[in-house]
Amino acid sequence: MDLLSKIRSHQRTPSGSRDFKEATKRDALARLEVELERLLSSLPEPKRPGVEKEFKGFKNLFSRFLAEQGPSVTWEKIQKLPEGAVIDYSTLSTPTTDNIHHMLDKLVVVKLNGGLGTSMGCKGPKSVIQVRNELTFLDLTVQQIEHLNKTYKCNVPLVLMNSFNTDEDTQKVIRKYKGLKLDIHTFNQSCHPRINRESLLPVPKNVDVQNDIEAWYPPGHGDFYESFNNSGLLQKFIKEGRTYCFISNIDNLGATVDLNILSLLLNPDQKSAEFVMEVTDKTRADVKGGTLIQYEDKLRLLEIAQVPKEHIDDFKSVSQFKFFNTNNLWAKLDAIQRVVEQGSLNMEIIVNNKSLADGLNVIQLETAVGAAMKCFEGGIGVNVPRSRFLPVKKTSDLLLVMSNLYSLSHGSLVMSPQRMFPSTPLVKLGDNHFAKVKEFLNRFATIPDLIELDHLTVSGDVTFGRGVSLKGTVIIIANHGDRIDIPSGALLENKIVSGNLRILDH
């Protein structure tokens, strides 16, 4: 039984073994501190203060991880969402044009840009994958904000939170935006050592991250607040008189600056909310997404990882938990400064188990940016239209955003008016043949017409000719060893196409 299991194994134990556990924990922390000191001492003096700050954050995470026991919520203590806790987007008023310029002067746009494109078979930052008309996630973001700045004659800055994985490549890319009306700032989230699962000691032997990249990890986007504060940018924007930041994932193409929500935040007639989480109606496809709950008289984010096993089905129920978190968040800048300086950020820890290339089992401790909601005063949810949640996590999402379901307007994707209902089709593409972007693109001569599609499942060795139309529910399954080529110009409406190429009505 490894040390982690000993610490985590069932808590109701005779006092003798409880003492043993406490001693093991104290020992684990003391040994970790010694190791971190050793790593620090291998650094030249000028580099130490920055790394020391990051290690302090890491030590804090680690000691909280040792202290946590079991799920972080007591299911029975979840309260019903109070009246007015979630505001319906349709009730928000649209600001007048003359006011918009002043409002935007108070805003900073932050994109979480720490992720790599590896899950889609791409090298480098995910933000440089081409998603539409040869434009990348980053291009689209820059276009949106430049358009905002030109239209309203303002200067909204764009801030990218990079990780040590994405920083160098991102710096090269942003040089091409030099001539645009837009200030781009970047800072790096922390770099934490992975922990050996058996010994609970740090994996790296020295602080040369690039030489031993597998030994380090970025600790999730919950690290935003500390790193933003440490970078000095937070203080800079507060000095400039800016009051709110809008934070979202770079791969959520629906996360554009919303003037109605900004107007709600800056409305002098109402008590100001320090934190706003955009939520949207949960569908059966979103059962694993985090949701908003009232707990100990505060709004907070509940993720599936925090749910006791026996309540997982309740958590997934669409009737019990109607909303899920889009990870589009608005936070007050001076409030971020306050919670960081007070040290009152206690976001739930996500324990991520990994195996390194050499077979070593490690854990990495992460936090989620939305989980900080409970640390702020006057948090609210806004129930936004589904169009504000358009993440591209897989090639099936890429198929949707490249298709005629959307058109592009100044970097924003707009759903086609020809689509009869606002929901997006459910698309499942087989991992073996479609998971990597390059492979996926080779299987479509052109992206099919999806305007009237409800559901598409494709599995096996399938290719699509030019000008194919898919409507209703379409299921295409090539059995092992078979290949299906959908001919150019084909219209498939409510069809099942199986391995022997017969087209059957569905």
What helix, strand, coil percent values describe the chain, rounded to 5?
A: 35, 25, 35
Using CA atoms, how far residue 77 sits from 81, 459, 492, in Å, is 12, 44, 50
Backbone angles phi, psi at 422, to 5 degrees: -75, -10
Q: Give the single-character DSSP code of 121.
A: T
In 180-283, beta strands by DSSP E: 184-188, 192-193, 195-196, 216-217, 244-249, 275-281
Is 288 known to sit in a ligand binding site? no
CB 489 within 8 A of CB 470: no
Hey, what long-range contacts does 233-237 have (CB within 8 A, 24 or more apart)? 233/159, 233/185, 233/187, 234/333, 234/336, 234/337, 235/337, 237/108, 237/157, 237/333
Query: CA neighbours within 13 Å on the CB side: how many for 146?
Result: 16
Strands of the sheet with 291-295, listed across from one edge:
78-79, 291-295, 298-302
Q: Which is it for strands 192-193 and 216-217: parallel, antiparallel or unpaired? A: antiparallel
d(CA 340, CA 139): 32
Is 126 known to sit in a ligand binding site? yes
Residue with tokens 């390059």: 438
Please count the residues of the chain. Answer: 506
Give SS3 for 114.
coil
Is 123 known to sit in a ligand binding site? no
Give SS3 for 446.
coil
Query: CA neighbours within 13 Å on the CB side: how many for 36?
Result: 24
Catalytic residue among 393, 428, 436, 471: 393
Instruction: Give catalytic status of residue 332 as yes or no.
Output: no
Q: Which is it for strands 135-136 and 158-162: parallel, antiparallel or unpaired? A: unpaired
CB 429 within 8 A of CB 394: yes
Is 393 known to sit in a ligand binding site? yes
Is 189 known to sit in a ligand binding site? yes
Is 221 known to sit in a ligand binding site? yes
Closest CA to 132 of 143, 124, 121, 122: 143
Active site (catalytic) residues: 393
Q: Residues comprising the binding site?
A: 126, 189, 220-221, 251, 393
Q: Residues comprising the binding site for substrate?
A: 221
Q: Residues comprising the binding site for UTP?
A: 126, 189, 220, 251, 393
